[in-house]
Amino acid sequence: MDALSRKIKRQKAIKEFFTALAFLSPNFFGFLLITAFPVVAVFFLALTKWDGISYPSKSRGDVVFVVSSPASSDIQIPKGAVIESDFSITKRFFARVDEKILQSPTFRLPKIGDEVVLPVSIRGKEDYTYIFPAGSEFEVEVVIRTTNQNGEIESSSVLLSFVNTSDFEVSVGGSVEISGKIEKVISGNYIEGIEVPASSIGVKTEYSKSEVFLGIVENSVVIPAGATNAMYPVKVSSLKVGEEYNLPEGTILIPKNEDFPKGVKGVVDMAFIGGKTGIKFIGLDNFKRLFTRDKDFWRYFVNTLIFMLQIPLGMAFAIILALALNQKLKGITLFRTLYFLPYISNLVAVAMLWRWIYNDQGLLNEFLKLIGVINPPSWLGDGNWAKVAIIVMDVWKNVGYTMLVYLASLQQIPSFLYEAADIDGANEIQKFAYITWPMLAPTNFFIVIIGVINGFQAFGSQYVLTGGGPAGATKTIVYYIYNNAFQWFQMGYAAALSVFLFIVMMIFTIIQWRMGRESTTSSW
């Protein structure tokens, strides 16, 4: 009997094991695919340098441009070395104009000689800080779209020369606001001083040559000591960045920091990525750059915290609405639905509506003029007002959801508590302070936790309404991660930013969880 009983138990255990395995296996593999693998991949990428699209290839590599000779003695460049044939670090530098510098609904084209502020991001050799003296020239391509008599849209491209008026420095991957002047029109028809809608004008996100002209040294060359921007007798070849070529026999592509001919390190002043080398492990260099050189990240971190002011503002408006709508009145459901509609509305549509409201000649400014405000603010053209504009829009859009959460919690509070308070002679303020608000402690905890998590991930409103402008004034951490990953193709650094953001969010969540647990316990 004992043997039979043990056999039955064993069979039952085996059956339960395989039943559990059949149930848990899909969940386990789902966890690996949806959660574990992406997290591990991001943490790994944070320790690498990768452009997000390339793969290792022996026929591709980093090309070193020899542009000056700061050494105290002559340096021999061997036959076959690849150099840049026409390059000056202060004239035609590889830079990008930040994606949107024209944020106000209307924009007045600057006149030649006008002082303007141009936010730029620098591309070039990794782990390097460039110093630009006053008088450095940048070329900015502006595209103006107009409608002709037939209703057809015509585009004209204008190339402007922008010269900075003071020295500045910026690290690769970082950005900086440069004060300078529009010196001249290089090409195109430019009508200065006219006012155009922002929707009809754009600044190209990047200016650089579509082709990189490389010179191949046919014979060995000696660079004199102290020479700068030296020109060499070369055979010029036109090579497009990122494409493979059968280079002439004897051509040498010198990888950065590897296998330099003796003495060449002294003349390497700039490197341009001329090929695809795949993922390169660089250890903690991305985090070193984040904490020591990237001032922009901390600026955008502060912006992110500022936008979190919408959490207490939204909670305040939501509790007021919830109290007002927590009534047994005919048609009250209609009002609850109307307040909830903005939350489920498409963000792009909502942002376009608010862009029209915030227009310099929009509904809001026209109203302000009616009540006596002579010079109403440029809501999207001024950095401080742009922050206020986004916070107001986000509060308006999300207050319906928070109101609904509060409303559900209010309806769970036992009515006998209010009846007892009425017997004791408590007024409405006392009932709110000593009954309603303490009973809402778990709800407040939930709303704050969700609000902080969403606040650190703020992106959509800033992207659609202001594009992160003006001059980065409304750019957030996630927006900066987006720039690095999908516009500047610095996947490794973007992953490092994401890891840091994850750690910060984890710390904030743990602190709030402990504080919320204590307040919830004390309220009961």
pLDDT tens for 347-396 read: 989 998 998 899 888 889 889 988 988 888 888 888 889 999 999 999 99
Residue 282 clears pLDDT 60, i.e. is over it: yes
The number of beta carbons lying within 10 Å of the beta carbon of residue 102 is 21
DSSP 42: H
Distance CA 213, CA 65 (A): 11
Residue 294 clears pLDDT 50, i.e. is over it: yes
R_g of the chain computed on alpha carbons: 31
**Region 268-283: what's the mean pLDDT?**
49
102: amino acid identity, one letter: L
- What does the block give as tokens for 127? 């782990």
Q: What is the pLDDT of residue 388?
A: 94
Q: Which CATH architecture has domain 295-523?
A: Orthogonal Bundle (1.10)
Closest CA to 354 of 344, 371, 342, 368: 342
Q: What is the pLDDT of residue 56?
A: 45
Q: What is the pLDDT of residues 105-161, one digit of tens each?
A: 455 667 788 777 766 655 544 445 556 667 766 666 666 665 555 655 566 667 777
Residue 83 clears pLDDT 50, i.e. is over it: no
Distance CA 343, CA 334 (A): 15
Q: What is the pLDDT of residues 170-183, one digit of tens each?
A: 665 566 677 778 78
Could you tell me which residues come within 8 angstroms of residue 511 by beta carbon, excluding any fewer than 6 positions away? Answer: none
Q: What is the pLDDT of residue 93?
A: 33
User: Can you spell out the DSSP letters for 431-495?
Assistant: HIIIIIHHHTHHHHHHHHHHHHHHHHT--HHHHHHTTT-STTTT--HHHHHHIIIIIS--HHHHH
Q: What is the pLDDT of residue 144?
A: 63
**Domain extent listing, the chain:** 63-86+211-275, 95-203, 295-523
**Region 262-279: what's the mean pLDDT?**
36
Q: Is 188 left (phi over 0), alpha (psi -120 to 50) or beta?
A: left
Under a CB-based contact definition with an 8 Å cutoff, are residues 119 and 95 in contact? no
Distance CA 231, CA 235 (A): 12
Torsion angle of C-alpha atoms 485, 486, 487, 492, degrees rounded to 10: 20
What are the C-alpha distances in Å from 199 to residues 50, 324, 333, 341, 361?
34, 41, 40, 28, 14
- ∠ CA 29-34-38, rounded to 5°: 115
What is the model's pTM? 0.58
